[in-house]
Structure 1
Amino acid sequence: MRWDRLFDDLEAQLVLDEVLELESEVADRTRRERALLDVHTRLLANVDTPQVALRLPGRVVSGRLVDVGPDWALVEPAPERPVLVALPAVRSVSGLGAGARMPSVVAKRFGLGAALRAVSRDRAVVELVDVDGHAATGTIDVVGADHLELAEHASDERRRTANVTGRLLVPFWSLGSVRRLQG
């Protein structure tokens, strides 16, 4: 009888050790997989979330998360008035659900420059806000490899040579957000 209890105890200890080892391995794999996730994949899993808030220096852009690129997010605070947010300017995000989604190869290449070129092609009047909170209105004339050039003019005017009051070169690393005003 004593031997039976001894063997039962040893068997229970072996089973417990195996369970603990498996739990440790699962936890380690989970940590490794999470270490591979980036902001893009987290946001991508939350496209169409109705109320996310992206905190930028001095302000918050909140609304429905419409789309995400590798270095930008499109948030719609009001219907038909989306705001393009440069992800390097984001300090924190709230309102996200769990999960992550890996982007397609094409989506990985659709960076901030490509999104800004689409706005530029439309010749839309925009409000541009940099990471320091400085706002300017006008039309994006040029989108380079790492910057954009804004023809500054009043928000209620179209881009015409006579309406342009200045030209502003904005490096992507200092861009906070771009919002269409009209166009």
Structure 2
Amino acid sequence: MRWDRFFDDLEDQLASEWEAERAALDTEAERLRLSRVSLRDRLQALAGSDRPAATFETADGSRHVATVTGVGADWVGLASAEGRARGMIVPLTSIEAVGMPHAELLHSARPAPATSSIVERMTLGFVLRDLARRRSAVVVHLMRGRSLAGTIDRAGADHLDLALHEPGTPRRADVVTGHRVVAFGAIAWLATDAAAVP
């Protein structure tokens, strides 16, 4: 009778050790998986009209309550949830923090569904060239807090040419007040028509 109890105790102890080892391996596998998750992946998980708004803090010191409308290779498209009918394009390097409810935080850390390789290749330059082609008026907010309103005439590999004019007016030669070459690295975020944001 004592031997039966002895073997049962050994069996229980071995099962407990295996369970503890499996839990440790699962925890380590989860840590390894999380170490490979990028900010871009987390934002991709927040994309969609069914997701609640988050608070985005950008390098120019501004805060935006917005929903994620799209994520490219190095940028995120946002739709303002603060009653302003505008879209925003924010370089990923300009995002300092994202505030969201705990449930959304956990959701964004889960593995994201596979995305199109075309979307992954859409860089900030690609989006800005599309805005130039559409002749969309934009307000470019710079890292140091200044903003420039106008129309993007062209976008290169790492910069854009901006024709300056009053916000809300179409670009015409007689309303252009100047031109600026703006480095992509100086851009905190761009505001444009919500319809123009991918």
| Fold agreement, TM-score > 0.5 | yes
2:87 and 2:193 in contact (8 A); partners too? no
From 109, 130, 141, the counterpart of 1:118: 130
* Matched residue, 2:37: 37
2:56 and 2:66 in contact (8 A); partners too? no
* SS of equivalent residue, structure 1 residue 45: helix
**How many angstroms apart in 1 are the aligned matches of 2:19 and 2:100?**
35
| Structure 1 residues 6 and 56: alpha-carbon distance in aligned structure 2, compared to 1, 3 A threshold | same
Residue 162 of structure 1 and its aligned partner are, at CA, apart by 2.7
**Which segment is superposed worse, 85-94 or 101-110?**
101-110
* SS of equivalent residue, structure 1 residue 162: coil
CA displacement, residues 118-170 of structure 1 (integer Å, 9 cap, x when unaligned): 11111111111012221010111111111111111111432222322222122
Residue 9 of structure 1 and its aligned partner are, at CA, apart by 1.6
Question: How large is the RMSD of aligned CA atoms in angstroms?
Answer: 1.9
Where does structure 1 lack aligned partners over 5 or more consecutive residues? Answer: none
Residue 81 of structure 1 and its aligned partner are, at CA, apart by 1.6
Give the aligned residue type for 1:64: T
1:62 and 1:75 in contact (8 A); partners too? no
Are 1:84 and 2:89 matched, yes or no?
yes
**How many angstroms apart in 2 are the aligned matches of 1:71 and 1:165?**
31
* Matched residue, 1:147: 159
Are 1:162 and 2:164 matched, yes or no?
no
Q: TM-score, normalising length from structure 1?
A: 0.91
| Structure 1 residues 13 and 181: alpha-carbon distance in aligned structure 2, compared to 1, 3 A threshold | closer
Give the aligned residue type for 2:4: D
Give the aligned residue type for 1:92: A
1:70 and 1:107 in contact (8 A); partners too? yes
CA displacement, residues 16-49 of structure 1 (integer Å, 9 cap, x when unaligned): 1110111111111111111111111111111122
Equivalent pairs counted in the alignment come to: 183
**How many angstroms apart in 2 are the aligned matches of 1:36 and 1:76?**
27
From 72, 75, 89, the counterpart of 2:75: 72
CA displacement, residues 75-119 of structure 1 (integer Å, 9 cap, x when unaligned): 111475211111110001122621342432111101111111111
1:130 and 1:176 in contact (8 A); partners too? yes
* Matched residue, 2:3: 3
CA displacement, residues 161-182 of structure 1 (integer Å, 9 cap, x when unaligned): 2322222122112211111269
**How many angstroms apart in 2 are the aligned matches of 1:74 and 1:108?**
13
* Matched residue, 1:51: 53
Alignment of 1:90-109 (within 5 A): 90-95=95-100, 97=104, 98=107, 99-101=110-112, 102-109=114-121
Q: TM-score, normalising length from structure 2?
A: 0.84
* SS of equivalent residue, structure 2 residue 63: strand
Give the aligned residue type for 1:34: L
1:44 and 1:67 in contact (8 A); partners too? yes
2:149 and 2:166 in contact (8 A); partners too? yes
From 143, 148, 156, the counterpart of 1:136: 148
* Matched residue, 1:60: 63
